[in-house]
Amino acid sequence: MSPIYEGKRQKVRNTRVIATDLRVIATDLRVIATDLGVIATDLGVIATDLIFIEKSYNCPSFS
């Protein structure tokens, strides 16, 4: 095969590798977004618990 053809094949391979890497990064970002959603939910639960404690024990406001 000619060197030009081999060079084009290598570029195609590199492009495919980059595309795969970008898909992996996108998946990682989705996982991070899900984790941040879980953290936000946990913080909401904690805030609700603090409000409940404040009302139950007649504590001064936390805010």
- Residue 28: CA count within 13 A, CB half-sphere: 6
Contacts of residue 31, defined as CB under 8 A and 6 or more positions apart, other chains included, come to none
pLDDT single digits (tens) 10-61:
899 999 999 999 999 999 999 999 999 999 999 999 999 988 888 888 766 6
pLDDT single digits (tens) 32-42:
999 999 999 99
Q: What pLDDT score was predicted for residue 63?
A: 53
d(CA 61, CA 6): 71
